[in-house]
Amino acid sequence: MASIEIERLVRFLGRLPGLGPRSAQRVALALMKRPDTLLRPLADALTLCADRVRTCGVCGNLDAVDPCAVCRDPERDRGTICVVQEVDDLWALERSGTYRGLYHVLGGTLSALDGRGPEELRIAGLLARAEAAKAEGVALEVVLALGVTVEGQTTGHYLAERLTPFGCAVSRLAQGVPVGGEMNYLDEGTIEAALRARQRIV
């Protein structure tokens, strides 16, 4: 139907979460109607991300520098590591503006159903950070900010158990997080309340 260039664009747009084939066409057309103010800038923004953004080797965050800006920030409290499932959970916490420690992005949750074990997640790196803190004599607190879902909580229990040998405190966000909810969709107020009321579990 359309030119191969447009068909190719529609095909890739259709692979984005939340876009079906028809909405991909609608988006492609909207882009082509604004070549200078939307199409080209979006293409450049994507290319820039592809060229520059990488995964932080320390915490798993996405940034143009590695280690990421959060890991490098001297103002950050290095005695606290907040463990999240995904990078957008980290973004949600940053939006709340109430957390000043470091992060660790797991890349998901343990899931027997999906066959996702500890090796599939960024868990070894977290344990290495806890071990390093112990070696340096830093009193480390690990705050678990995982989704209040079966898998999120199972992952939290597993991490608490694995972190115990390193003598660090492990807490989780207060159960102000709505049951069944995902970190990514929380409003800032709920995140702030849950952070303040976090409960130590180990």
Per rule CB under 8 A, is residue 13 in the interface with a second copy? yes
47 is an interface residue for a second copy by CB under 8 A:
yes
**Cα-based angle 111, 115, 119 (whole degrees, multiple of 5):** 85
Q: Please list the residues that pair with 101 across neighbouring strands.
A: 77
Enter the DSSP assignment of 83: E
**Cβ 80 to a second copy, closest distance in Å?**
18
3-class DSSP state of 117: coil
Pick from 18, 115, 137, 180: which binds a second copy (CB under 8 A)? Answer: 18
- Residue 9 in contact with a second copy, rule: CB under 8 A: yes
Among 184, 190, 192, 193, binds a second copy (CB under 8 A): 184
Give the pairing of strands 169-172 and 199-200.
antiparallel
Q: How far is CA 158 from CA 48, 152, 171, 173, in A?
A: 38, 10, 13, 16
Question: β-strands 62-63, 54-55: how paired?
Answer: antiparallel
Q: Which stretch binds a second copy (CB under 8 A): 56-64, 71-79, 154-162, 191-199?
A: 56-64
- Minimum gap (Å) between residue 9 Cβ and a second copy: 4
Kindly list the residues in this chain that would bind a second copy in the complex (CB under 8 A): 1-6, 8-9, 12-13, 15-19, 22-23, 25-32, 35, 38-43, 45-50, 52-53, 62-65, 68-69, 86-88, 91, 94-95, 184-185
